Amino acid sequence: MLLLSGFAADAAGPGYFGYGKPATPAEIAGWNIDVHGQDGVGLPDGKGTIDHGADVFAQQCAACHGTFGEGEGRYPKLMGGESTLKGDRPEPSVGSYWPYVPTLFDYINRAMPLSAPHTLSADDVYAVVAYILNFNNIVPANFVADRDSLPKVKMPNRNNFTWKDPRPDTAAKECMKDCVDPKAVKIISSAEGKDLTPKTTGPLDTMGN
Amino acid sequence: MSGPIRQGHWHKSRRSILRIGAAMAGGAVLGPAAGAAEMENSPPGEPDWTKAIGAGVVDRPYGRPAEFEKDVIRRNVPWLTATPESSVSFTPLQSLDGIITPNGLFFERYHAGRADVDPHQHRLLIHGLVERPLVLTMDDIMRFPSVSRIHFIECPANGGMEWREAQLNSLQFTHGMLSCAEWTGVKLSTLLDEVGLKKEAKWVMVEGADAARMNRSLPLEKCLDDCLVVYGQNGEALRPEQGYPLRLLVPGWEGNVSVKWLRRIKIGDEPWFSREETSKYTELMPDGKARGFTWVNEAKSVITSPCPEKPVAAPGLYEVRGLAWSGHGKVKAVDVSFDGGVNWHSAQLQEPILSKALTRFTIPWRWDGQPALLESRVVDETGYVQPTIAELRKVRGKNPIYHNNSIQTWQIKPDGKVFDVQLG
> pLDDT digits over A63-103, tens only?
999 999 999 999 999 999 999 999 999 999 999 999 999 99
Predicted ipTM of the assembly? 0.95
Distance from CA of A54 to the nearest CA of B (A): 22
Backbone φ, ψ for residue B243 (5° rounding): 110, 15
CB contact under 8 A, B342 and A182: yes
pLDDT for A10: 52
Mean pLDDT, residues A18-23 taken together: 98
Mean pLDDT, residues A184-190 taken together: 98
User: How far is residue B232's CA from residue B189's CA, in Å, rounded to a whole number?
Assistant: 18
pLDDT for B37: 60
User: How far is residue B333's CA from residue B99's CA, in Å, rounded to a whole number?
Assistant: 16
Domain A49-160 has CATH 3.40.630.190: no
pLDDT for B39: 76
Do A102 and A150 form a contact (C-beta atoms < 8 A)?
Answer: yes
pLDDT for B29: 39
Domain architecture of chain B: domains with CATH: 3-69 (no CATH), 88-291 (3.90.420.10), 300-421 (2.60.40.650)
Nearest residue of A to residue B130, measured between CA atoms: A14
For residue A166, say if its preceding peptide bond is cis, omega within 30 degrees of 0: no
CB contact under 8 A, A190 and B86: no
Nearest neighbour of A15 by CB, restricted to B127, B132, B270: B132
CB contact under 8 A, A31 and B423: no
pLDDT for B281: 98
User: Which chain B positions have a beta carbon within 8 Å of A90's beta carbon?
Assistant: 284, 399
CB contact under 8 A, B145 and A192: no
First-residue to last-residue Cα distance in chain B: 71
User: How far is residue A53's CA from residue A176's CA, in Å, rounded to a whole number?
Assistant: 62
Distance from CA of B420 to the nearest CA of A (A): 5
In chain A, how long is the greatest CA-to-CA distance? 72
Nearest neighbour of B339 by CB, restricted to A38, A168, A182: A182
Q: Give the mean pLDDT per block of 10 residues along chain B (424 residues).
A: 36 39 38 61 95 98 98 97 96 98 98 98 98 98 98 98 98 98 98 98 98 98 98 98 98 98 98 98 98 98 98 97 98 98 98 98 98 98 98 98 98 98 96
Backbone φ, ψ for residue B38 (5° rounding): -60, -40
Do B409 and B375 form a contact (C-beta atoms < 8 A)?
Answer: yes
User: Which chain A positions have a beta carbon within 8 Å of B379's beta carbon?
Assistant: 174
What does the pLDDT look like over B139-190, one tens digit per residue?
999 999 999 999 999 999 999 999 999 999 999 999 999 999 999 999 999 9
Do B345 and B306 form a contact (C-beta atoms < 8 A)?
Answer: no
Distance from CA of B239 to the nearest CA of A (A): 21
Question: Given a cut of 70, is residue A2 above it in pLDDT?
Answer: no
A62: left (phi over 0), alpha (psi -120 to 50) or beta: alpha
User: Which chain A positions have a beta carbon within 8 Å of B289's beta carbon?
Assistant: 160-162
H or E segment and range at residue A58: helix A50-60
User: How far is residue B415's CA from residue B307's CA, in Å, rounded to a whole number?
Assistant: 14
Mean predicted lDDT score pLDDT of chain A: 95
CB contact under 8 A, B273 and A38: yes
User: How far is residue B102's CA from residue B233's CA, in Å, rounded to a whole number?
Assistant: 9
Size of interface A-B (CB pairs under 8 A): 284
Nearest neighbour of B134 by CB, restricted to A22, A99, A172: A22
pLDDT for B15: 38
Nearest residue of B to residue A107, measured between CA atoms: B275
CB contact under 8 A, A15 and B196: yes
H or E segment and range at residue A107: helix A101-111
Domain boundaries, chain A: 49-160
